[in-house]
Amino acid sequence: MSKRNTQQRRHAIISLLGERGELSVDELARLFETSEVTIRKDLAELEKNGLLLRRYGGAVPVPSELVPPVVEEDEVSKRKQALGRAAAALIRDHNRLIIDSGSTTAALIPELAKRRGLVVMTNSLAVAAALRELENEPTLLMTGGTWDPHSEAFQGLVAEQVLRSYDFDQLFIGAAGIDPLRGTTTFNELVGLSRVMAEVAREVIVLAESHKVGRKIPNLELPWSRIHILITDDGLAPALRQQIEQQGVQVICVPVPV
């Protein structure tokens, strides 16, 4: 299915959730005449963007106070690309990196083509595939572990043990939400691997669009004490920036191309 049709289906899922309050995977698969695997991917991506909450066998709407503002897809792409370029500026040749799963961190990968001798660990098959396309051929390491369809990444004790076998210069990680007083937050209850990633990296860099700041999602992923830099766009309110900087975190606000 084309990217356009995928986006249309995902918009339709959100609309249906608003009307019905709850939908099952098999119901959506029949309605859109597609596989349950495709629907689960749709729900996982929509949850990553804070647009719904997954429940066993289906999904429910996100409480209205947590729904992010509607942003056009092209604008989202420009924002993420801008964050990726800013993140790449912090990387030196021969650095050892961890890149967590997620569409925002994935925007960093094309920029890595300008660096030499990189070693990159990831828990994401999508990130690994993108790294394999780079002509400078960074050394690729995978965490392994248990595949989690919820986060579409490897998780679990095996992945944590692999990470602890190495040390890294930098971790690049996204966030579903950011609490200015606590740190990064997530809908996913599996936060153990993210915390191990932060433990084994000398510098932790969070990439997140400004509309995610102030979304107080219940599950704390990384406290500010474990984060060194937040890269966001110039839509961040000055008061929120000040709150985060008071936690000892460097905040980089990137202008978004028009």
pLDDT in tens, 77-87: 788 899 999 99
Spatial strand order of the sheet with 139-142 comes to 139-142, 119-122, 96-99, 168-173, 201-207, 229-233, 250-254
Identify the weakest region by mean pLDDT among 37-46, 82-91, 229-238.
37-46
**207 vs 136, residue with greater confidence:** 207
Q: With a cut of 50, say whether residue 2 has pLDDT above it.
A: no
Region 60-82: what's the mean pLDDT? 65
Q: What's the pLDDT score for residue 84?
A: 93
Region 228-245: what's the mean pLDDT? 95
Do residues 159 and 126 lie in contact, with contact meaning Cβ atoms separated by under 8 Å? no
**Contact partners, residue 81, CB within 8 Å, separation at least 6:** 107
Q: What's the pLDDT score for residue 13?
A: 93
Q: What's the pLDDT score for residue 6?
A: 81
Q: How confident is the model at residue 69 (pLDDT cuts 50, 70, 90)?
A: low
Q: With a cut of 80, say whether residue 70 has pLDDT above it.
A: no
In the chain, the domains with their CATH numbers are 3-64 (1.10.10.10), 73-254 (3.40.50.1360)
Q: With a cut of 70, say whether residue 68 has pLDDT above it.
A: no
Q: What's the pLDDT score for residue 53?
A: 84
**Contact partners, residue 239, CB within 8 Å, separation at least 6:** none
Region 64-93: what's the mean pLDDT? 74
Kindly report each contact of residues 250-256 with a partner whose C-beta sits within 8 Å and lies 24 or more positions away, as own/partner: 252/86, 253/210, 254/82, 254/83, 254/85, 254/86, 255/82, 256/75, 256/78, 256/79, 256/82
Identify the weakest region by mean pLDDT among 8-22, 45-59, 114-128.
45-59
Counting residues of the chain whose pLDDT is more than 90, the rounded percentage is 57
Q: With a cut of 70, say whether residue 109 has pLDDT above it.
A: yes
Q: What's the pLDDT score for residue 203?
A: 98
Q: What's the pLDDT score for residue 76?
A: 52
pLDDT in tens, 176-188: 899 999 999 887 7
